[in-house]
Amino acid sequence: MKTIAVTGGKGGVGKTLISVNLAVGLAQTGTRVVLFDADLQLANIDIALDLQPKLNLQHVVAGEATLLEALTPGPSGLNVITGGSAVQGLMNAGPKRMATFFSQLDSLRRSTDVLIFDTGAGVDQRVMTFLRMSEETIIVTTPDPTSVTDAYATAKILWRRDPGAQVSVLCNMTTSPHDGLTVYSTLRAICEKYLDKTPHYLGSVQADMRAMESVRRRQPLLLWYPESPAAQDITRLARGMAGQLRRHAA
């Protein structure tokens, strides 16, 4: 099971849109995906996917259900764990309860190829917990310079905590074909200059009105409008990741 955290220094850069649709795109390739709503402030994957889970993280944290029982079937065969705001209580409950909880993630291992954490913005302790548990961290940024600065701040703290962290950059809401690479080159240059680290470039996703509309419709963009430019970008990324996962597993 590969664990991936999707993060970004700022709210509204598209972390949830990317997490949800990457999860759907991966599931469409036959990859067994669990999408974990790890945004403690704004847990909203159930809303994005229009799910009404019977059990969620609240029950797991309270010891009323196991993590496996709290998996809710989502579109395209992916499984979802919702109720990320419950993790807040867990973190306050202290390191021992947390360790017990996170050890439950192991129970997903046998039935899961990839576990995706949709995390909140910022670099506080609780977001970091998820990043440190992940083999790969995808930092979502937009071409907006403040978002790029925030992405750098996230990478810096992550690498400071874990010098071996695998960091990938995804540029969302691009408006020209060069945006993604330009943003990545800028970020890479400052990471190499000040941190002596090189992030990996995952790719870019175009700004697309349909992406916004899909959120209003509470449907993943990939299912509602697969021909839209952003959906095609994400599908391409998901296929690339699925190929890598297969090579990784082989």
Ligand X SMILES: Nc1ncnc2c1ncn2[C@@H]1O[C@H](COP(=O)(O)OP(=O)(O)O)[C@@H](O)[C@H]1O
Which residues bind to ligand X, rule: CB under 6 A? 8, 11-17, 172-173, 205, 207-208, 211-212, 215, 230
CB of 104 to Mg ion, least distance (A): 23
Indicate the residue among 27 and 215 with the shorter CB distance to ligand X. Answer: 215
CB of 16 to Mg ion, least distance (A): 3
- Do residues 16 and 48 make contact, with C-beta atoms less than 8 angstroms apart? yes
Q: Which residues of 107-137 are buried (b: 16+ CB within 10 A; e: fewer)?
A: ebeeebbbbbbbbbbbbeebbbbbbeebebb
Q: Which of 170, 162, 161, 149 is nearest to 17 (CA)?
A: 170
Indicate the residue among 151 and 245 with the shorter CB distance to ligand X. Answer: 151
- Do residues 221 and 210 make contact, with C-beta atoms less than 8 angstroms apart? yes
* Sheet strand arrangement including 166-174: 72-73, 79-81, 33-38, 114-119, 2-7, 136-141, 166-174, 200-206
- Please identify the residue of the shown chain whose CB is closest to the bound Mg ion: 16
Chain centroid to CA 146 = 20
Q: Which residue among 3, 7, 16, 134 contacts Mg ion (CB under 5 A)?
A: 16
Indicate the residue among 41 and 186 with the shorter CB distance to ligand X. Answer: 41
For residue 10, state whether it binds Mg ion (rule: CB under 5 A).
Answer: no
Indicate the residue among 47 and 190 with the shorter CB distance to Mg ion. Answer: 47
Instruction: Identify residues 184-223 at the interface with Mg ion (CB under 5 A).
Output: none
Candidates 14-22, 24-32, 52-60, 224-232: pick the segment binding Mg ion (CB under 5 A): 14-22
Per DSSP, 227 falls in state T
For residue 15, state whether it binds Mg ion (rule: CB under 5 A).
Answer: yes
Q: How far apart are CA 83 and CA 37, in angstroms?
A: 7
Query: Residue 53's binding partner, choosing from ligand X, Mg ion, none, with beta-carbon cut-off 5 to 8 A by kind?
Result: none
Q: Give me the residues that bind Mg ion (CB under 5 A), please.
A: 15-16
